[in-house]
A and B are shown apart, each in its own frame.
Chain A
Amino acid sequence: MADHDPTPPAPPAPPAWQLGKSHRKVDAMERMRGITRYTDDLKLPGLLHCKILRSPHPHANILSIDTSKAEALPGVHGVITGKDLSIPYGIIPWTPDETALAVEKVCHVGDGLAAVAAVDEDTALRALAAIEVVYEPLQAYYDPEQALAAEVAINPFNKRGNLSKDVVLEFGDVEQSLADAPLVIEGEYFFEGTTHGAIEPHCAVAKLEPNGLLTVWSATQVSHYLHRELAKVLERPAHTIRVIQPPLGGAFGGKSEPFDLEFCVAKLAMLTGRPVKCLYTREEVFYAHRGRHPMKMRHRTGFTREGKITGVSARTFIDGGAYSSFGLVTTYYSGQLLCSPYVFPAYRFHSTRAYTNKPACGPKRGHGSVQPRFAIEVQLDKAAVALGLDPFELRRRNDMGSNTTTVNGFEVGSNGFLECLDRVESGSQWRERRASLGFGHGLGLAGSTYICGTNYPIYPNDMPQGAVQITLDRSGRARVFSGANDIGQGSNTMLAVIVAEELGLHLDDVRVVSADTDLCPVDLGAYSSRITLMVGNACMQAAQKLRGKVRESVAKRWEIPAARVTLIDRKAMDLEDPARSIALDKAFQWAEADHGLLGEVGSYNTPKDRHGSYRGGTIGASPAYSFTAHVAEVEVDPETGVVDVKHIWVAHDCGRALSKLIVEGQMEGSAYMGFGEAIMERHAVDPRHNGVHCGPSLLDYRMPTFLDTPDIHALIVEAPDPQGPYGAKEAGEGPLHPSIPAIANAIYDAVGVRIDALPFSPPKVLAAIQDRARLEQAGELAPFKSAGLGERRNA
Chain B
Amino acid sequence: MSEILVNRRDLAFQLFEVLETEKLTERTRFAEHSRETFEAVIETSDKMARDLFASHNALADKDEPRFVDGKVQMIPDVKRAFDAYAAAGFIAGSYDYELGGMQLPESVMAACNGFFTAANPGTAGYAFLTKAAANLIRVFGSEAQCRKYLEPMLTGHYAGTMAMTEPHAGSSLADIRTSATPTDQGHYLIKGAKIYISGGEQEITDNIVHLVLAKIKGAPAGVKGISLFIVPKYLTDDEGNKLGRNGVALAGLIHKMGYRGTTSTALSFGDDADCHGYLVGEPHQGLKYMFQMMNEARVGVGFGAAMIGYRGYMHSLEYARERLQGRHPSSKDPETPPLAIIEHADVRRMLLAQKSYVEGATALCLYGARLVDDSNTHPDETIRRESGLLLDLMTPVIKAWPSEYGPKANDLAIQVYGGAGYTREYPVEQCFRDNRLNPIHEGTNGIQALDLLGRKVWQADGAGIQALIRRMQVDLEAASDKRCQQWAYSLSETVQKAVKVTQTLGSALMKQGADRALANASCYLHLVGHICVAWMWLRQANVATKALQTAGSEEERHFYNGKLQAAQYFFHWELPTVAQDIVLLTNMDDTCLEMSTDWF
Q: Decide whether A and B assemble into one complex.
A: no
Interface on B for A, CB 8 Å cutoff? none
Interface on A for B, CB 8 Å cutoff? none
